[in-house]
Chains A and B, each alone.
Chain A
């Protein structure tokens, strides 16, 4: 390793390591975390690599302080991230809500593991899918990406930083132990081929009283600390200037709606989907590593003459309901596959059930992604 920020080359690399390298390639300068299986390799790599490029990694006393440090570093103008697994996210949730409320760009990597509670640390389960969206209190929108390979652990981490900076919001990577610990070919491009974004900040010298630094559906410039902007950053309900308002319900309504609409207004440009369902009567809907088993089953089904296709959610949040509805209009059967007991299934069913029969195929064992032969059996069953 040459100590450069971008490790251009071809590797047989672990997903978690690729995630850390993606963070560096995206311009990450700060990370704070607390070790937890199966996410520790990301933290180890960041702890080794960030100091090589002038950044820093802090091991904190727990996950609560880890996310707090990340929020603080982001307000100091640094691209920041934390990495943990489900139990750590549970501890971080209050401060994640704070980050959303005061519009703090940061990346939160959840390498999901067998749960509830401490569960089974090295087994990958897609168990925290709704937690990312609904875990913290109140109405809010979140962005979440679901990688299915080490290459995507790299690519999606770059995208996550760009989304975080562009929309001034926390962005989740919802990986799992299976993908995080997976090794496969990873190609890291030349630095100039990696697109990186940085948040809007107010013009230097702007009168601090006149900065509208919050609650703009088209993303307000961020009055980061240390540049003379003097912003008031409060978790309480506030207006566009950051000024508290704890009495007018219209102010609360504005606070909630603007934060949500900032994501929803840009849903089309955020949403990433892989579509391979042209002419298909049966469509398999999945995300993460499960999508790879679905693709194999669909290819086999087509060989048998069954018109089966796939739709893969790369961004699960904001939920791309319109995309699901559009797909269902041309389908007869929609089969949802997740490595859990059906977390995103109700959302998909709500959009697809008007036009198609929707069913859920759980894995035989939660923690082991669906066997393509089991998927194929289900495809044959519904095609009759």
Chain B
């Protein structure tokens, strides 16, 4: 596929924008692809709505807006009513099943990951739930190589958090 559109919806503090940055960094700097990442959030730093959009492409990206996402990652319940109608036919809906209960079957595949409870139990910190999701997404789709993503994590997150983020990402890779 020459252009993949990804929309990540959640609330502030869940690492919505960081997830977008990681995908874009891996694609652009470590995989020789092109990527555009954009974002929108309400004024509350934590708890308000947050959205990140990423387009990954083999060619330069002309239209920079996600229109009909091939992949919707819902990290919070409110992302479902807001974005689910936009998923492209036969697309993929990835949910954190600990937080998203209202995802109904549709013309898309659902990848359901209990990311928050895994992060809480195994990493002792729910903030890395997004990395578990990204690991599962890569395993499922082969969108980017594991190596590119791990390099992106190393250059994008603070040094003291690298190990925990890598652990969460690898846990996601090994989920199925």
Contact = CB atoms under 8 A, between A and B. Distances in A.
B63 A12 contact: no
Closest A-B pairs by Cβ, 6 of them = A296-B62, A296-B63, A183-B37, A12-B25, A293-B63, A12-B28
A10 B38 contact: no
B124 interface: no
B67 interface: yes
Contacts of A182: 36-38, 64
Given A12-B24, A183-B24, A299 B62 contact: yes
A334 to B, nearest CB: 20
A122 B21 CA distance: 17
Interface stretch (A100-108, A353-361, A364-372): A364-372
Interface residues of B, number: 22
A296 to B, nearest CB: 4
A121 B62 contact: no
A96 interface: no
A298 to B, nearest CB: 9
A292 B62 contact: yes
B87 interface: no
29 contacts: A10-B29, A11-B29, A12-B37, A181-B38, A182-B36, A182-B64, A183-B20, A183-B24, A183-B37, A184-B24, A184-B28, A184-B34, A184-B35, A184-B36, A184-B37, A184-B64, A185-B29, A185-B35, A292-B62, A293-B63, A293-B64, A293-B65, A295-B62, A296-B62, A369-B64, A369-B65, A371-B65, A372-B63, A372-B67
Contact of A181 (B39, B42, B61): B39
Main secondary structure of the interface of B (DSSP, over half): mixed
Contacts of A10: 29
Contacts of B24: 12, 183-184
Interface in B25-55: 25, 28-29, 34-43
B32 to A, nearest CB: 11
Given A37-B43, A185-B28, A185-B34, A292 B64 contact: yes
Given A12-B29, A184-B28, A293-B64, 15 more contacts: A122-B41, A122-B42, A149-B64, A178-B38, A181-B39, A182-B38, A183-B20, A183-B24, A184-B34, A184-B35, A292-B61, A292-B63, A292-B64, A369-B64, A372-B63
Contacts, number: 71
Interface of A: 10-12, 37, 121-123, 149, 177-178, 181-185, 289, 292-293, 295-296, 299, 368-369, 371-373
Pick the most buried of B28, B61, B65: most chain A CB atoms within 10 A of its CB: B65
Nearest to A375: B63
Contacts of A121: 43
B59 to A, nearest CB: 11
Contacts of B43: 37, 121-122
A182 B67 CA distance: 16
Nearest to A369: B65
Contacts of A37: 43
